[in-house]
Amino acid sequence: MAKLAFTDLKDKVVVVTGGAGVLGLSICKAFATHGAKLAIVDLNQEKAEKMAAEIREEFGNVNIGLTANVLNKQSLLDAKDIINNELGSIDILVNGAGGNHPKATTQVEQMVEDNEEGTFYDLDLEGFDFVFDLNFKGTLLPSMVFTKDMIGKGNKGVVLNISSMNAYKPLTKIPAYSAAKSSINNFTEWLAMHLAPQEIRVNAIAPGFFITDQNRFLVTNEDGSYTERGQKIVNGTPMAKFGEPEDVQGAVLYLCSDISSFVTGICIPIDGGYNAYSGV
């Protein structure tokens, strides 16, 4: 029996949307350690190119940084042309683009007074639509575009979606983000069944609480200390801390490699025990 390792990832063409974000960059580095060819796709082209250059310098692998809007199909098709021309046919897609926004966030956790401001009734609908679309359609559209290379080739393509603990236990204040991540879990299962005859596996990971650019305003103060909400998160996590970006790497490599070749349609929590804890 051969030694179990992630050697099958070498020279695979991996597309990571949102690749210049905190978790996206960690995921890209995980693939880079095993010689994958990376396409770091982000709305911010300058940031994507900078991350690509840093990874090339550190790991020496082939990669490119490019821009695309995950809510614009033509933008994704244009990016796919560049990826195919420079790296080859796509083997793995990681749908890492997503996030929250203050306009889709209520100011209070519960509505106590009839005339209270900042409740569900005061949500900005444009903000709500933006967050829901970014997370759900921003997973749907890249899957439509980038998995086309995996069809009919028997090359065991892989899609990895990024869900969240919000999919299991919706958090106060962020209804759009919670609803979108819940829909990603359902979509992961649906697409896994739909593409199984094509030997394309579709799975997801559900990160617990990591401090990112999108949620920093909710969980930390300007001096770096935890807000009341941030402290509540730590108190509700059995491991009593926020996750580090590197904590997602093992599950990502497992689900994207042939080691998990009979695994499809699942979502793995990476949450320090948050989902297992009832609070009592």
Active site residues: 177
Bridge-based pairing of strands 37-42 and 63-67 is parallel
Please name which of 79, 99, 83, 78 lies closest in space to residue 21, comparing C-alpha atoms: 99
In angstroms, rounded to a whole number, what is the distance separating the alpha carbons of residues 130 and 124?
Answer: 10
Residue 12 CA to its chain's centroid (Å): 19
Q: How far is CA 140 from CA 94, 112, 205, 216, 241, in A?
A: 12, 37, 16, 26, 32
User: What dihedral angle (degrees, nearest 10) is formed by the CA atoms of 12, 17, 20, 22?
Assistant: -100
Position 228, amino acid? E
Position 227, amino acid? T
Please name which of 24, 55, 274 lies closest in space to residue 160, comparing C-alpha atoms: 24
CB 79 within 8 A of CB 116: no
Residue 112 CA to its chain's centroid (Å): 34
Helix axes 22-32, 45-59, angle to 10 degrees: 30
Helix axes 175-195, 125-132, angle to 10 degrees: 30
